[in-house]
Amino acid sequence: MRISVVGCGYLGAVHAACMAKLGHDVVAIDVDEQKIAALAAANAPFYEPGLDDLLREVQVTGRLSFTTDVAAARGSVVHFICVGTPQKKGENGADLTYVDAAISGLLPYLSSGDIIVGKSTVPVGTAARLAEIIKSAEADAHLLWNPEFLREGHAVADTLLPDRIVYGVLNGAEDHDAVAVLDSVYANALAAGTPRIVTDHPTAELVKTAANSFLATKISFINAMAELCDAAGADVTQLADAIGMDDRIGRKFLNAGIGFGGGCLPKDIRAFMARAGELGADQALTFLREVDAINMRRRTRMVELARELCGGSLLGKRITVLGADFKPESDDVRDSPALSIAAQLQLQGADVTVTDPKALANASRRFPELHYVSDSTEAMASADALLLLTEWQMYQDLDPYHIAEIVASPRVLDGRNVLDPAKWRAAGWVYRGLGRP
């Protein structure tokens, strides 16, 4: 199938490469010339495990091309919209500028019977509005909403073999021609047994925001329990293990720590609240305000704990932050709790060094005032305290005996509750976790 993909960020670049791997002929389009040049040279402009290899693999097949010229979409049967929907400046709502521009850019190049497939995360009601725009332009194209559930760090596998596929079709008509076309795009995953749900536009849009809201709520729930555990002298990691053994609850996404960040969960719950307000249903989502508040409190709590750990004052204390990205196996620092804590500590007088295997270039662009050292041993030398804020495996594997010899004071704050307290204490460290005695 001939496919165009508009938008080459985390979602679009991975989607385009995966579609080409599945045997489709793909043209990927983005306004950013640098990004397109990098992708065309099989260099992903961001770190995503397996993506560079996949780009190289499909490049030799000649089935994937990159361009800044949207006219290249002409001749494709399916057009995927994969552009970003960031939070508006100073408001909770989502900025739909890029989605609107993608649609209006495509319109002149559509042929009769083409299918536009929205994958971006959008406020409910967007597909209906865009369908009207397409209709009023007299384009004989059908709009489907097909939300994406990939996780950064696992994006390639999640795209090739998702755990479910959702199609939002006009009026939820399962026998719509567009459904059969998209079925052939996803033939591999469907043949492998991936469940597919066909529904209407608003339900498909809501599936995505509801899923991310649920995940955010689960994380904030366990972080609220961590606050309780701190107050009561209990251990939130054991509590999570025990409640997670109930199948109805499940252990995944119950890791208490410094909370969620990234380009999705924080802005998605805010956009969801804003949209609910517009729809007159704001009361239904007031709990998400609390989810957001609990999440942001984790960062403050971490700064307070660091101060305690340093004997009551951060002034002049050498603090080494392990991890800058919002999660491991990524170089994404958007709304990264780790980086925001590092910046807070610096503001409050600490002398902060940040280390990370992948994210230092992005981090230094965002917070140039922090000190960045790529070699972790060098970064930890003479530290008054270590803060593990992103749980890269290499930090989880640190040898506390060896590290104790290079720091100035063996004090560690485990912001992701991934270290073994007994092991670190046995090696002479003052260990503090979040919600752990």
Residue 129 near residue 159 (C-beta atoms within 8 A): no
CA-to-CA dists, residue 25 to 1, 73, 167, 174, angstroms: 6, 11, 22, 26
Residue 342 near residue 352 (C-beta atoms within 8 A): yes
String of DSSP letters for 249-308: T-STT---SS---SSSHHHHHHHHHHHHHHTT-GGGGHHHHHHHHHHHHHHHHHHHHHHH
Binding mask 108-147 for ligand UGA (x = CB under 6 A): -------------x--------------------------
Interaction between residue 168 and ligand UGA (CB under 6 A): no
Residue 3 near residue 19 (C-beta atoms within 8 A): yes
List the one residue out of 366, 229, 256, 258 whose CA is nearest residue 322: 258
Interaction between residue 12 and ligand UGA (CB under 6 A): no
Give the separation between CA 136 and CA 32, rounded to whole angstroms.
29
- State in angstroms the smallest separation of the CB of 409 from ligand UGA: 27
Interaction between residue 272 and ligand UGA (CB under 6 A): no
19, two tokens: 């579609």
- State in angstroms the smallest separation of the CB of 291 from ligand UGA: 12
Nearer to ligand UGA, 12 or 262 (CB): 262
User: How big is the site for ligand UGA, counted in residues (CB under 6 A)?
Assistant: 21
57, two tokens: 């693999």
Could you tell me the strand order of the sheet in which 318-322 lies? Answer: 371-372, 351-355, 318-322, 385-388, 411-414, 430-433
- State in angstroms the smallest separation of the CB of 380 from ligand UGA: 22
Interaction between residue 253 and ligand UGA (CB under 6 A): yes
- State in angstroms the smallest separation of the CB of 251 from ligand UGA: 9
| Phi (first) and psi of residue 86, to 5 degrees | -70, 170
Interaction between residue 327 and ligand UGA (CB under 6 A): yes
Helices (H), 186-264: 187-191, 201-232, 236-244
Among 46, 260, 272, 395, binds ligand UGA (CB under 6 A): 260
Q: In 3-state terms, what secondary structure has residue 155?
A: helix
Interaction between residue 299 and ligand UGA (CB under 6 A): no
Could you tell me the strand order of the sheet in which 78-81 lies? Answer: 64-67, 25-29, 2-6, 78-81, 115-118, 142-145, 165-169, 196-200
Region of 47-55, 85-93, 101-109, 250-258 interacting with ligand UGA (CB under 6 A): 250-258
- State in angstroms the smallest separation of the CB of 208 from ligand UGA: 7
Q: Which residue has the tokens 């080459």?
A: 8
Among 98, 109, 272, 326, binds ligand UGA (CB under 6 A): 326
List the one residue out of 86, 147, 93, 87 whose CA is nearest residue 273: 93
Residue 387 near residue 302 (C-beta atoms within 8 A): yes
Nearer to ligand UGA, 93 or 259 (CB): 259
Among 265, 271, 363, 383, binds ligand UGA (CB under 6 A): 265
- State in angstroms the smallest separation of the CB of 306 from ligand UGA: 18
Interaction between residue 257 and ligand UGA (CB under 6 A): yes
Burial 320-357 (b: 16+ CB within 10 A, else e): bbbbbbbbbbbbbbbbbbbbbbbbbbbeeebbbbbbbb
Among 44, 264, 380, 387, binds ligand UGA (CB under 6 A): 264
Interaction between residue 324 and ligand UGA (CB under 6 A): no
Give the active site residues: 264
Interaction between residue 212 and ligand UGA (CB under 6 A): yes
Among 12, 45, 123, 261, binds ligand UGA (CB under 6 A): 261
How much helix, strand and coil, in percent to the nearest 5, is found in the chain?
45, 15, 40
Interaction between residue 219 and ligand UGA (CB under 6 A): yes
Window 70 to 99, contacts with ligand UGA (CB under 6 A): none
Among 149, 170, 282, 404, binds ligand UGA (CB under 6 A): 149
Nearer to ligand UGA, 177 or 241 (CB): 241
Helix axes of 51-59 and 10-21: crossing angle, nearest 10 degrees: 40
Among 7, 93, 118, 259, binds ligand UGA (CB under 6 A): 259
Nearer to ligand UGA, 189 or 407 (CB): 189
Region of 36-44, 127-135, 257-265, 407-415 interacting with ligand UGA (CB under 6 A): 257-265
Q: Under the rule (CB under 6 A), what is the footprint of ligand UGA?
A: 121, 148-152, 212, 215, 219, 253-255, 257, 259-262, 264-265, 326-327
